[in-house]
């Protein structure tokens, strides 16, 4: 299993948090998503076929920016 940790801007409220969690949970291979509003971080545990690129694209599609 792979784990990625991102610092993200745009995690402003619970609505965005839920949107990010939902779009990442839809990816085949994602096992766990942890969104921390206080620290503006996202941690994702995943396996193939999902890649870091897929995860970043989903986060940015919701309107957040990966730093």
The pLDDT of residue 22 is: 97
User: Could you give the angle at which helices 14-25 and 52-62 cross, rounded to 10 degrees?
Assistant: 150
Fold category of 2-66 in CATH: Alpha-Beta Plaits (3.30.70)
Domain map (residue ranges) of the chain: 2-66
pTM, rounded to two decimals: 0.93
pLDDT for the residue numbered 63: 95
Reduce the DSSP state of residue 58 to 3 states and report it: helix
pLDDT tens profile 1-53 = 999 999 999 999 999 999 999 999 999 999 999 999 999 999 999 999 999 99
In sequence order, what are the beta bridge partners of 65?
9
d(CA 30, CA 14): 21
Cβ(48)–Cβ(29) below 8 Å:
yes
Distance CA(40)–CA(33), nearest Å, equals 13
């Amino acid at each position: 299993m792979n784990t990625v940790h991102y610092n993200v801007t745009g995690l402003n409220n619970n609505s965005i948090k839920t949107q990010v969690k939902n779009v990442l949970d839809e990816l085949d291979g994602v096992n766990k998503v942890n969104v921390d509003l206080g620290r503006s971080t996202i941690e994702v545990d995943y396996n193939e076929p999902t890649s870091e690129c897929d995860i970043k694209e989903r986060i940015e599609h919701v309107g957040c920016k990966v730093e």
